[in-house]
Chains A and B, each alone.
Chain A
Amino acid sequence: MSKIRLGGIKVVEKRGYLYSSCPRGLDPLGNICSVLAGGRVNMGMLTHVADNGLGESITAASAKSALCFSGYILEAADSGGCNTPEVEGDVSRISIFPHDQRPEVTAAVLTILGAASIRPYGFGSSPSAVTVVVASSDFERAMELFFDSFAFPGCESYSQWQAVCRMDEHQLMEVKCSYNEHIITVYGFTSQTGLGLWNLSIPVEAIGGFGAFLSELGELGFRLPFLISNSAPRERVIHFSFALEEEKRNKAGQALDKYLPENDCSRQGPVSALFLHGPHFGDRYGIADAFVTALRKGEIPVLALSCAVSSISAIIASNDPHKAIEVLNSRFQTPGEGRR
């Protein structure tokens, strides 16, 4: 099989991972974002689904260490209602890019992880990248498999990547930074309408089948602008939420039934996707909190959310994103605003 040619791969090793679930309506997202922002914790990744189709709202986050989540865990224990949050102390995040909304990129990741029985804790997506969280004990094997399936310029193998391309911790720390800014400045917002949000829960062992489904979507010419997954560390079930063109829903449904018969998939549409373009989402604490709070105050329900690499992607219930963009523009500053 020929390798899929991509632009690059980035890894962040030895991080903490939080998984929090609540009955639908008791949303953990706002709490997690506000507690972590209050503690000045940078989140390298955050995913959320308001209803996974099984009546649960799930939020997962990755940060420098498991200790970063202690404030939220204490608060969750006090407030009640939600399940006890689960924390994994040693995970690594692997991001590959650019995906160009091609389902076959995520499909290949799922296929190789499934074939090697490597369990992904979570997936996130940004406008350019696909990020997967794996246990650090699976990291090396996962990386070798990534280099078997994808071609990256300048680094042909995992060993070459280790020798030449890997950023050392010092360099990573140097690139990490925090901004002193009263109003958060971002590049801007874009949107995509006419989408359907699909929710699906499958056993971890079935991720290869889900990969085959995405691969077929690629062959059928689908675009995949949004995909997240969450999995409780002590469970063997993985929840996927993804967005596809709503008008092609029948074709997508047929493909899903072919690879995952008797699935429990639910779908909502038409909905739209909002994209906040960074920079430096992962190393500026408080951006996700500002984003989520602004939408909540504007009464814009967030159905699903993914913060990965340097951007935030959100699926909102309305197929008209203008009000949401207006709300976000009142909270964030975009370059050139002062000039206009």
Chain B
Amino acid sequence: MGKYVLIVDDDPDMVETVGMMLESKGYEVGKAYDGVEGEESIRKRRPDILVLDVMMPRKNGYVLCAELKKNKATRSIPIILLTAVGEAVPSTTYSHADGKATEAEDYIPKPVDAQVLVESIERLVV
């Protein structure tokens, strides 16, 4: 069985697409559709790595990332933040600076390059 990657994103098509990409590379994929559900999924089964969207209802990715990094039990789970914020999206209030301020291990802008994501996962999951 491959490493277990949990994808948390409120865009179901995005979860489907990234899930397919990772499953084709041999990863086992878990899916959650908002920050709270992601948190519950982590409690039920600890992922080897977390791929986390930023803009989500109930609990956004920055908040969930910060909480996981504060918690001794979950601190060591590598987190890749995935989001469409930045130069291409001028109207959002989220920024790359906010992302870099979290303790996430990597920060990849959407739409994600499958190869870049897989390389990041391989680098972080040892």
Contact = CB atoms under 8 A, between A and B. Distances in A.
A165 interface: yes
B12 A128 contact: yes
User: Which of under 10, 10 to 19, 20 to 34, or 35 or more describes the interface residues of A?
Assistant: 35 or more
A185 B11 contact: no
Contacts of B13: 126-129, 277-279, 281, 309-311
Interface in B27-41: 31-34, 36-37, 40
A336 interface: yes
A129 B110 contact: no
10 contacts: A8-B34, A126-B12, A129-B13, A165-B34, A167-B57, A174-B92, A176-B91, A177-B84, A177-B90, A335-B112
B2 interface: no
B97 interface: no
A126 B110 CA distance: 19
B92 A335 contact: no
A128 B15 contact: yes
A154 B34 contact: yes
A171 B116 CA distance: 30
Given A154-B34, A190-B20, A278-B13, 7 more contacts: A7-B12, A10-B10, A154-B37, A174-B93, A178-B89, A178-B91, A279-B84
A45 to B, nearest CB: 13
B71 interface: no
* 5 residue pairs, one from A and one from B, having the closest CB atoms: A335-B113, A97-B12, A128-B12, A8-B33, A336-B113
Most buried by A among B16, B20, B34, B88: B16
A19 to B, nearest CB: 25
B110 A279 contact: yes
Contact of A186 (B34, B36, B89, B111): B111
Interface of A: 7-8, 10, 95, 97-98, 126-129, 153-154, 164-165, 167, 171, 174-181, 185-188, 190, 277-281, 309-311, 334-336, 339
Contact of B91 (A165, A177, A190, A336): A177
Contacts of B20: 190
A154 B37 CA distance: 7
Contacts of B55: 174-175
